[in-house]
Amino acid sequence: MQENIKKISVLGCGRWGSCIAWYLDKIGYEVFSCGLPDAPEFVRLYHERKNDYLAYPDSIKMTSNLAEAINHGEIIIIAISAQYLRSYMKDISQHSLKNKTIVLCMKGIEEATGLRLSEVVSSFVNEDETPVAVWVGPGHPQDYIKNIPNCMVIDSNNDVIKKRLVRQFNSELIRFYLGTDLIGSEIGAAAKNVVGLAAGMLDGLNYSSLKGALMARGTAEIARLISAIGGNWKSAYGLCHLGDYEATLFSPWSHNRRYGEELIKGNKFEKLAEGVSTAKALIKLGTKYDVELPIAEAVCTVLFENANPEETLSRLFLRSVKDEF
């Protein structure tokens, strides 16, 4: 990747994909925003140049032609639902990706395999020719468009690539930190959505005061998992996980928190909540690496086994003092 990269394609036009396209255009890149031709979010952006979160300036080009987008971008940013990444990569990999960099701006674990998203992409590309990085951390489009700053992380197995991306994408609006643990960055970022579901359930039960205990236990739980997989347990206490709790466990804009709250209230939440599939994937990883994940297990029993939410979540906080972590 050259230092003077200017052309970027963002694949995905949802809440986060559109925000990334808007941000990269704002800091001076030539941006192609690509979506599926029949996807409602793409159709609205294409015809109205806006969605519920932001408006596209004229400088952002839009296309539903995947080949056109890939040919344009020296950096290919993917921001779609995590569970569709594998099928999307089958289409993407039909085009030449040599000397391009793929950046995943999405948080999840593949439910069927328990693989991290960078592992899914790496099964389709040669990382010596097509480096893979992740862009994770806290933030909401509703804040960014108001010029409210935040901090995020870029991580990769390729030290040169991640340093260049941090340097090139940095601005006063988003301060990027250099990730040093790809396993921890990905697992932490994905798992915070599951903790977000639990937080929303507590809100729905009017037990919001227990979020402090949830935060303490959640971070320790994910730190154990990261360590067992081979990452640095301290990553759970960084921006990828604990640092993202404010945006996920408390914000009214958090889809995962809202999903959990509306579930308890008997309402259906229609927007994407990645934590639902990630909860199942975490259980798979916990079994594989022999790590107890009581929060993920509680969330799964409520979501998929019709367990009583109040009884299930209350049991999480009735453990003895000696078992705090």
The architecture of the domain spanning 186-318 is: Orthogonal Bundle (1.10)
- Structure confidence at residue 316 as a pLDDT band (50, 70, 90): confident
CATH 3.40.50.720 domain position(s) in the chain: 7-178
Contact 274, 189 (CB under 8 A): no
Residue 187 CA to residue 120 CA, distance in Å, equals: 14
Lowest-confidence range among 132-146, 201-215, 261-275?
A: 261-275
Catalytic residue among 26, 100, 107, 192: 192
- Total residue length of the chain: 325
Tell me what pLDDT residue 321 has. 46
Contact 276, 262 (CB under 8 A): no
CATH number of 7-178: 3.40.50.720
In sequence order, the β-bridge partners of residue 154 are 135, 178
| pLDDT tens-digit map of 240-278 | 999 999 999 999 999 999 999 999 999 988 888 899 999
| pLDDT tens-digit map of 81-114 | 999 999 999 999 999 999 999 999 999 999 999 9
Alpha helices in 30-139 (DSSP H): 40-48, 66-72, 85-92, 117-122
Question: Quick one: average pLDDT of 271-294?
Answer: 95
Residue 83 CA to residue 78 CA, distance in Å, equals: 13
- Structure confidence at residue 4 as a pLDDT band (50, 70, 90): low
- Is residue 100 part of the annotated active site? The answer reads no
What's the order of all strands across the beta sheet hosting 30-34? 61-63, 30-34, 7-11, 75-78, 101-104, 132-136, 150-156, 174-178
Exposed/middle/buried for 59, CB within 10 Å: 0-12, 13-18, 19+?
Answer: exposed
Lowest-confidence range among 15-19, 46-50, 268-272, 289-293?
A: 268-272
Q: What are phi and psi of 234, to 5 degrees?
A: -65, -20
Tell me what pLDDT residue 2 has. 44
What is the gyration radius of the CA atoms in the chain, in angstroms?
19
Contact 277, 115 (CB under 8 A): no
Contact 9, 72 (CB under 8 A): yes
Position of tokens 């991306």? 165
Asked if residue 318 has pLDDT above 90, the reply is no
Question: Quick one: average pLDDT of 19-31?
Answer: 97
| pLDDT tens-digit map of 35-74 | 999 999 999 999 999 999 999 999 999 999 999 999 999 9
CATH 1.10.1040.10 domain position(s) in the chain: 186-318
Q: What are phi and psi of 254, to 5 degrees?
A: -75, 120
Question: Quick one: average pLDDT of 20-49?
Answer: 96
Tell me what pLDDT residue 1 has. 40
Torsion, Cα of 140, 226, 104, 81 (10° steps): -70
The percent of the chain in helix, strand and coil, each rounded to the nearest 5, is 50, 15, 35
